[in-house]
């Protein structure tokens, strides 16, 4: 990624397919050439102009609105031209091609937003939230992303960075000018400020984790022997017929995934192939995929059939992956032996008794899935940030170094080490909004955008 790309980029900004309006967006330095060719001149800035769009030979391609935003008052911070024509794929491609004929090149995914970031129109968290708004799969996730775009997450992070800087200044001052009388005073102030920082960071981590769940969703995997009722349970949870329910063991060879929404949180549920050892090649593939799904899961939902004798040993795949994963044990088919639906919570295990057939106890399972993933009900409204894995990792790294800093806080002789830990913590925290962000990370972040954004 080069910060100073003088070239002009263009893309169709509206989704592919037909619609009332389609938009071609152009950004770069000096768009007079393109504007002359297509519109006969640059439109008056920030006015909506009815215009005819013509090609090189002067033939009219389409008519619509032209909007011109000169730098720096535009989305990208460069000159931006928007051509709003009719939303058909053929007409949009003609218009885009005309831009390319006039010297623009196709924009890469996320390149408009990358330029906005490089021109300091947005910080990194805000740029990411643009993609998150577009990708949001629930209205709650969209609202959260909008809050991040407004800069609420960035402000919170910046405030914490500022507190860290203040604390570092206090320490560096003490290290540079050691005065016996004020030593005790400083010691107390440093430890107090450090403790406050840690509390604030912890609060941010909690709400960032909620935001992360809202955006990414919870990955849950249904595991269990053939015929225990995995597909039936998935159907009940999804309340429609996604998986084929069958009485032949091992029919669900491939994983079937369905995304449902619980309290506004997307939950991706995967129904795995029957877990058992086999020499069947096709089935072997299914088992490998099952193991991969289990590795990536946030939660395992382990099913057993209460109507059967359950003393049989767990299959190999279950033993390898199940025990260190967060899991919920579901005892299915309570209707067959007349048990009531209920939840049993022990220290590290949760058992849910239900019937995938009648639906009795399904709501209990829904609650337990949210609970196990760390979703705090009632947290869904104000104050949630749209956070990504990258943000959570940075927050956790900050936490580790603040903890290390605390270990050096008691002895003033160790304050050099304390100061160093705080410096590392500050770098980690600042990487969230992008002040210390490597180029390869930028490439990774923006490549996941759609084209035209
Ligand atoms: P899977 O192989 O684990 O996916 O199991 P299925 O969902 O295909 O179910 C196997 C059989 O058990 C089917 O005949 C289902 O109708 C039946 N079944 C599933 N859940 C229940 C339940 O809660 N009660 C009863 N009575 N039958 C069930
Ligand atoms: Zn099944």
ipTM value of the model?
Answer: 0.98
227 alpha carbon – ligand 2 mean position (Å) = 7
- Quote the CA–CA distance of 347 and 415 in Å, as a whole number: 41
Q: What residue numbers does the annotated binding site cover?
A: 25, 82, 121, 227-232, 246-252, 271-274, 453
- Output the known binding site for GTP: 227-232, 246-252, 271-274
Q: How high does pLDDT run on average in the chain?
A: 83
- Helices of type H across 42-151: 89-101, 111-118, 124-135, 139-149
Is pLDDT of 91 > 60?
Answer: yes
Mean pLDDT, rounded, for 110-122: 93
pLDDT band at 224 (very low <50, low <70, confident <90, very high): confident
pLDDT at 199: 95
Distance 192 CA to ligand 2 centre (A): 56
CA 264 to ligand 2 center in whole angstroms: 27
Asked if pLDDT for residue 406 goes beyond 80, the answer is yes
Is the pLDDT at 192 greater than 70? The verdict is yes
State the span(s) of the chain assigned CATH 3.30.1360.120. 9-123
Q: Which atom of ligand 1 is nearest to the CA of 224?
A: 3
pLDDT surpasses 70 at 265 = yes
Q: Which of 248, 329, 331, 250 is nearest to 286 (CA)?
A: 250
Confidence of residue 40 (pLDDT cuts 50, 70, 90): very high
- Mutation test residue for ligand 1: of 223, 232, 255, 286, the one with most atoms within 8 Å of CB: 232
Does 423 have pLDDT greater than 80? yes
**197: confidence class by pLDDT, cuts 50, 70, 90:** very high
In degrees rounded to 5, what are phi and psi of residue 66?
A: -120, 135
The mean pLDDT of 383-412, rounded to a whole number, is 87
Q: Which residue from 283, 217, 222, 218 is spatially nearest to 250, judged by alpha carbons?
A: 283
Instruction: Return the residue whose CA atom lies nearest to atom 18 of ligand 1.
Output: 229
**Separation of 373 CA from ligand 2 center, angstroms?**
24
Residues of the chain with CATH 3.40.50.300: 124-433
Which whole number is the average pLDDT over 126-130?
Answer: 90
Query: Which range, of 36-40, 139-143, 206-210, 336-340, averages the lowest pLDDT?
Result: 139-143
What atom in ligand 1 is closest to the CA of residue 244?
8
Q: What dotted CATH number matches 124-433?
A: 3.40.50.300
Q: What was the pLDDT predicted at 185? A: 62
pLDDT at 412 over 60: yes
Structure tokens given for 309: 């004798």
What is the reported pTM?
A: 0.70
**Which one has a higher pLDDT value, 395 or 319?**
395
Dihedral sign, Cα of residue 363, residue 367, residue 373, residue 378 = positive
- In angstroms, what is the span from residue 272 Cα to ligand 2's centroid? 7
Query: What's the average model confidence in pLDDT over 215-220?
Result: 88
398 lines ligand 1 (CB under 6 A): no
Range 9-123 classified under CATH 3.30.1360.120 = yes
Q: What is the pLDDT of residue 225?
A: 84
Question: Which tens digit of pLDDT belongs to each residue from 166-176?
Answer: 888 878 777 77
Identify which ligand lies nearest to the alpha carbon of 276: 1
Instruction: Give dist(CA 128, CA 444) in Å, integer.
Output: 11
């Amino acid at each position: 990624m080069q910060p100073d790309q003088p070239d002009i980029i263009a893309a169709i900004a509206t989704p592919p397919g037909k619609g009332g309006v389609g938009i071609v967006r152009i950004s770069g330095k000096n768009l007079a050439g393109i504007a002359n060719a297509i519109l006969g001149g640059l439109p008056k800035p920030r006015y909506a102009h009815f215009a005819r769009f013509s090609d090189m030979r002067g033939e009219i391609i389409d008519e619509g609105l032209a909007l011109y935003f000169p730098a720096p008052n535009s989305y990208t911070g460069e000159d931006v031209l928007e051509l709003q024509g009719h939303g058909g794929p053929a007409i949009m491609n003609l218009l885009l091609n005309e831009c390319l004929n006039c010297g623009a090149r196709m924009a890469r995914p996320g390149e408009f937003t990358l330029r906005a970031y490089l021109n300091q129109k947005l910080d990194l968290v805000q740029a990411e939230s643009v993609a998150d708004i577009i990708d949001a799969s629930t209205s709650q996730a969209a609202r959260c992303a909008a809050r991040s775009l407004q800069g609420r997450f960035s402000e919170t992070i910046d405030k914490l960075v500022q507190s860290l800087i203040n604390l570092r200044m206090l320490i560096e001052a003490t290290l540079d000018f050691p005065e016996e009388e004020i030593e005790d005073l400083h010691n107390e102030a440093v430890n107090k400020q450090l403790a406050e920082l840690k509390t604030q960071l912890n609060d941010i981590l909690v709400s960032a984790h909620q935001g992360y769940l809202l955006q990414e969703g919870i990955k849950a995997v249904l595991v269990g022997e053939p015929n225990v009722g995995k597909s039936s349970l998935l159907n009940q949870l999804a309340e429609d017929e996604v998986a084929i329910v069958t009485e032949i063991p091992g029919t669900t060879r491939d994983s079937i995934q369905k995304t449902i929404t619980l309290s506004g949180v997307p939950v991706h549920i995967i129904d795995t192939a029957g877990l058992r050892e086999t020499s069947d090649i096709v089935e072997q593939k299914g088992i490998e995929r099952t193991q991969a799904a289990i590795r990536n899961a946030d939660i395992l939902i382990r099913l057993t059939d209460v109507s059967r004798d359950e003393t049989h040993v767990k299959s190999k795949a279950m033993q390898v992956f199940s025990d260190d994963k967060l899991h919920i044990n579901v005892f299915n088919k309570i209707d067959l032996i007349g048990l009531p639906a209920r939840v049993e919570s022990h220290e590290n295990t949760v058992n849910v008794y239900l019937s995938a057939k009648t639906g009795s106890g399904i709501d209990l399972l829904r609650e337990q899935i949210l609970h196990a993933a760390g979703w705090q009900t009632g947290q869904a409204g104000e104050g949630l940030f749209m956070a990504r894995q990258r943000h959570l990792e940075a927050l956790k790294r900050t936490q580790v170094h603040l903890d290390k800093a605390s270990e050096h806080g008691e002895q003033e002789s160790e304050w050099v080490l304390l100061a160093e830990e705080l410096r590392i913590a500050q770098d980690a925290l600042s990487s969230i909004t992008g002040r210390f962000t490597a180029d390869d990370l930028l490439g990774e972040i923006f490549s996941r955008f759609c084209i035209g954004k």
